[in-house]
């Protein structure tokens, strides 16, 4: 689906099929990604976006081939709602659990916390008392422990207000720019996809498609993908004209 | 302390420490009710052992571990929630236990008994609780990650299914040590109550583990003293649980103030 050169290829997915019993979620999906890409995965609910991320991390069974280039280290930021916030855990407890499990040097936790703007006070706060934006930053810090060079984000700003959402995406963008990370991003927000992604993979019940945002985020493509004119189309069209 | 019960008291203290720690993660894994039920799985084994005039703990351990493995397999294969899977095994286990346990031994099996513990029994119990305590500390980070988010834990490299199984086995080992004096009905109470009390008092993991263990130890000491000097029952389980429940009640008051 993509004409990626062999040297820069980071990820190669070939004839991927994912099914739960008789329910086939993804079928015959092939694509590639290069180091430094920001690849956005879009598609309607149930099209398999989260399932694809889990398969890329080898968390669920699949058929076909997923091949990461040598040296790829993955960090994962799940949907905010997928974590239990009622636990007796301070943010530091959580980050220390990962750092200890991976036998990371003690300084890395402080360094990552400072990179994403987590203060000492926030580190000593119960995860249940963090605001939505702070919790999302915490999940990003968690993903950054272990120095990954690929970040997989699953709806990183779902249920956040617009201002917080903006800050989270700015953080992601600066991480990608400063550290040269590859980002694979699942998002429903097409304006965000247009701003930050250089490649878009759209999943749907029909034939999946992949290309630069300007080729994929067209009215015709989006209408075909979501089987209805997207409400945010006007916003994107304005953006394209501007 | 009545003669010959020194080993039992010491064993109860080791059990309290293990139960306090295991209880924290049982509460975090939302398997508090399930933990109550797992302890009842020992009953059929105790009943058969009483019938065959064997050491009751051998019978209890056998069905406890078989039941634990069965629960784990049920969870993995059928995708049932922990509580549902355990409920299925529990109903069958309790029914079989009630049917096979001789009537004169049923009360002892259900509520435990104040009895002398041999040096060998004490050493085995001590080694078991030491293993549980060390294992909890070794698995602490993996457990914390997997209760927070199974996906995140798996993405970090934690073998979540294996950690679940280890934890269920540690849980069963703890119950096994407590069976002698707490019985199948009350052995799990000292896993549940101290952790629930500690949860009201702190939201930091290290403090949670510390407070839960302390509440558990205090409950055992107070329960023994209450029984020796006041109630003089043939089993110490009820006084330990009553005192532990009292501390839980006090924690509720503390939280509101």
Give the pairing type, strands A182-186 and A150-154. Answer: parallel
Q: Are A200 and A193 in contact (CB under 8 A)?
A: yes
**Closest residue to A87, CB basis, from B28, B155, B156:** B28
Q: Do A84 and B157 touch (CB under 8 A)?
A: no
For residues B55-76, give the mean pLDDT.
79
Of the residues B136, B140, B141, B209, the best mutation for testing chain A's interface (the one with the most A CB atoms within 10 Å of its CB) is: B141
Please identify, in words, the CATH class of the domain defined by B6-256. Answer: mainly alpha
Cα-based distances in Å from B66 to B42, B50, B69, B149: 10, 18, 5, 28
For residues B47-73, give the mean pLDDT.
81
Q: How many CA atoms lie within 13 A of B128 on its CB side?
A: 23
**Closest residue to A87, CB basis, from B148, B151, B155:** B148
Looking at chain A, which residue has its C-alpha nearest residue B206?
Answer: A93
Cα-based distances in Å from A184 to A152, A199, B132: 5, 10, 41
Q: Do B204 and A82 touch (CB under 8 A)?
A: no
Residues of B in contact with A74 (CB under 8 A): 155
Q: What is the pLDDT of residue B78?
A: 61
Angstrom distance (rounded) from CA A116 to CA A143: 11
Structure tokens at A159: 């249920």
Q: Do A59 and B155 touch (CB under 8 A)?
A: yes
- For residue A74, pLDDT over 60 is answered with yes
Contacts for B31-35: CB closer than 8 Å, 24+ residues apart: B31/B82, B31/B83, B31/B86, B32/B192, B32/B195, B32/B196, B33/B83, B34/B82, B34/B83, B34/B86, B34/B87, B35/B171, B35/B188, B35/B191, B35/B192
Q: Do A97 and B141 touch (CB under 8 A)?
A: yes
Residue closest to A195 by CA, chosen among A41, A21, A38: A38
Segment among A47-51, A215-219, B242-246, B250-254 with least mean pLDDT: A215-219
Chain B nearest CA to A214, separation (Å): 33
- For residue A234, pLDDT over 70 is answered with no
Chain A nearest CA to B198, separation (Å): 10
Percent of chain A with pLDDT over 90: 38
The answer to whether B191 contacts chain A (CB < 8 Å) is no
Instruction: Sketch the domain layout of chain A as residue ranges.
Output: 9-241
Residue closest to A56 by CA, chosen among A129, A131, A151, A149: A151
Looking at chain B, which residue has its C-alpha nearest residue A82?
Answer: B149
Looking at chain A, which residue has its C-alpha nearest residue B196?
Answer: A88
Q: What is the pLDDT of residue A2?
A: 47
Q: Residue with structure tokens 């698995």?
A: B139
The DSSP bridge partners found for residue A19 are A24
Of the residues A68, A79, A81, A87, the best mutation for testing chain B's interface (the one with the most B CB atoms within 10 Å of its CB) is: A87
Please identify, in words, the CATH class of the domain defined by A9-241. Answer: alpha beta
The answer to whether B149 contacts chain A (CB < 8 Å) is yes
Q: Are A29 and A53 in contact (CB under 8 A)?
A: no
Angstrom distance (rounded) from CA A83 to CA A50: 15
Chain B segment 78-97 residues within 8 A of A by beta carbon are: none
Angstrom distance (rounded) from CA A199 to CA A240: 16
Helix (H, G, I), strand (E, B) or coil at A224: helix
Residues of A in contact with B146 (CB under 8 A): none
Q: Are B106 and B43 in contact (CB under 8 A)?
A: no
Instruction: Sketch the domain layout of chain B as residue ranges.
Output: 6-256
Structure tokens at B121: 């029994």
Looking at chain B, which residue has its C-alpha nearest residue A90?
Answer: B204
Angstrom distance (rounded) from CA B31 to CA B163: 15
Q: Could you read off the pLDDT of A180-227 as tens digits, one per residue?
A: 889 999 988 888 888 888 899 988 766 778 888 888 777 777 777 776
Chain B nearest CA to A167, separation (Å): 23
Helix (H, G, I), strand (E, B) or coil at B185: helix
Give the pairing type, strands A9-20 and A23-34. Answer: antiparallel
Looking at chain A, which residue has its C-alpha nearest residue B140?
Answer: A97
Angstrom distance (rounded) from CA A234 to CA A104: 47
Q: What is the pLDDT of residue A80?
A: 66
Looking at chain A, which residue has its C-alpha nearest residue B208?
Answer: A88
DSSP secondary structure of A153-217:
EESTTTT--HHHHHHHHHHHHHHHHHHT-EEEEE-S-HHHHHHH-SEEEE--SS--EEE-HHHHS
Is residue A17 packed enough to be buried (19+ CB in 10 Å), middle (13-18) or exposed (0-12)? middle
Q: Could you read off the pLDDT of B174-225 as tens digits, one per residue?
A: 988 888 778 877 888 889 999 999 999 998 999 999 999 999 999 999 998 8
Q: What is the ipTM of this complex?
A: 0.82
Task: Return the DSSP state at B101.
Answer: S
DSSP secondary structure of A88-150:
S-BHHHHHHHHHHHTT--HHHHHHHHHHHT--HHHHTSBGGGS-HHHHHHHHHHHHHTT--SE
CB pairs A-B closer than 8 Å: 74
Q: What is the pLDDT of residue A206?
A: 65
DSSP secondary structure of A61-104:
--EEEEEEPTT--EEEE--GGGS--SSS-BHHHHHHHHHHHTT-
Segment among A162-171, B157-166, B168-177 with least mean pLDDT: A162-171
Q: Could you read off the pLDDT of B104-144 as tens digits, one per residue?
A: 777 777 777 767 777 888 898 899 999 999 999 999 999 99
For residues B223-240, give the mean pLDDT.
83
Q: What is the pLDDT of residue A101?
A: 96
Angstrom distance (rounded) from CA A149 to CA A181: 5
**Closest residue to A88, CB basis, from B140, B149, B203:** B203
Q: What is the pLDDT of residue B108?
A: 72
pTM of the model: 0.83
Residue closest to A120 by CA, chosen among A143, A150, A90: A90
Determine the Cα angle at B120 with ends B115 and B122, to 5°.
55
Q: What is the pLDDT of residue A242?
A: 42
Of the residues B29, B140, B142, B144, the best mutation for testing chain A's interface (the one with the most A CB atoms within 10 Å of its CB) is: B144
Residues of B in contact with A96 (CB under 8 A): 141
Q: From the CB of residue B102, how many other CB atoms can be counted at a distance below 10 Å? A: 10
């Amino acid at each position: 689906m993509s004409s990626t050169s062999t040297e820069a290829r980071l990820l190669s997915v070939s004839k991927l099929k994912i099914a739960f019993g008789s329910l086939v979620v993804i079928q015959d999906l092939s694509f590639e990604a290069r180091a430094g890409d920001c690849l956005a995965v879009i598609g309607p609910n149930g099209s398999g976006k989260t399932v694809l991320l889990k398969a890329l991390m080898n968390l669920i069974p699949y058929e076909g081939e997923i091949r990461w280039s040598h040296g790829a280290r993955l960090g994962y930021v799940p949907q905010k709602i997928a974590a239990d916030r009622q636990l007796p855990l301070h943010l530091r407890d959580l980050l220390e659990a990962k750092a200890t499990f991976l036998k990371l040097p003690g300084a890395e936790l402080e360094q990552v916390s400072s990179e994403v703007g987590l203060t000492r006070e926030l580190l000593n706060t119960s995860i249940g008392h963090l605001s939505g934006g702070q919790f999302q930053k915490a999940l990003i810090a968690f993903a950054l422990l272990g120095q990954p060079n690929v970040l997989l984000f699953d709806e990183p700003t779902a249920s956040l207000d617009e201002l917080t959402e903006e800050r989270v995406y700015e953080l992601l963008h600066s991480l990608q720019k400063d550290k040269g990370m590859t980002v694979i991003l699942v998002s429903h927000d097409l304006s965000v996809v247009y701003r930050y992604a250089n490649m878009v993979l759209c999943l749907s019940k029909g034939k999946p498609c992949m290309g630069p945002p300007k080729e994929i985020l067209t009215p015709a493509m989006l209408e075909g993908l979501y089987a209805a004119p997207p409400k945010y189309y006007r916003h994107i069209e304005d953006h394209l004209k501007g | 302390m009545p003669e010959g019960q020194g080993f039992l008291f010491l064993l109860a203290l080791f059990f309290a420490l293990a139960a306090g720690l295991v209880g924290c993660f049982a509460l975090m894994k939302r398997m508090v009710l399930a933990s109550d039920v797992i302890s009842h799985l020992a009953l059929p084994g105790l009943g058969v052992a009483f019938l065959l005039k064997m050491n009751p703990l051998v019978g209890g351990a056998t069905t406890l571990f078989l039941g634990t493995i069965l629960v784990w397999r049920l969870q993995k294969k059928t995708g049932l929630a922990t509580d549902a899977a355990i409920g299925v095994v529990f109903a069958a286990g309790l029914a079989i236990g009630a049917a096979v346990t001789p009537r004169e031994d049923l009360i002892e099996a259900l509520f435990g008994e104040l009895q002398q513990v041999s040096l060998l029994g004490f050493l085995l119990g001590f080694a078991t609780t030491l293993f549980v305590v060390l294992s909890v500390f070794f698995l602490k980070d993996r457990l914390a990650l997997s209760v927070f988010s199974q996906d995140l834990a798996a993405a970090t490299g934690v073998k979540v299914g294996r950690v679940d199984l280890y934890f269920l086995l540690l849980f069963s080992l703890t119950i096994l040590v407590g069976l002698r004096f707490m019985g199948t009905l009350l052995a799990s109470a000292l896993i549940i109550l101290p952790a629930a009390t500690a949860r009201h008092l702190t939201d930091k993991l290290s403090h949670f583990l510390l407070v839960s263990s302390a509440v558990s130890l205090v409950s055992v000491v107070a329960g023994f003293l209450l029984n020796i000097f006041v109630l003089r029952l043939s089993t110490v389980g009820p006084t330990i649980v009553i005192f532990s429940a009292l501390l839980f009640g006090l924690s509720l008051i503390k939280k509101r103030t």
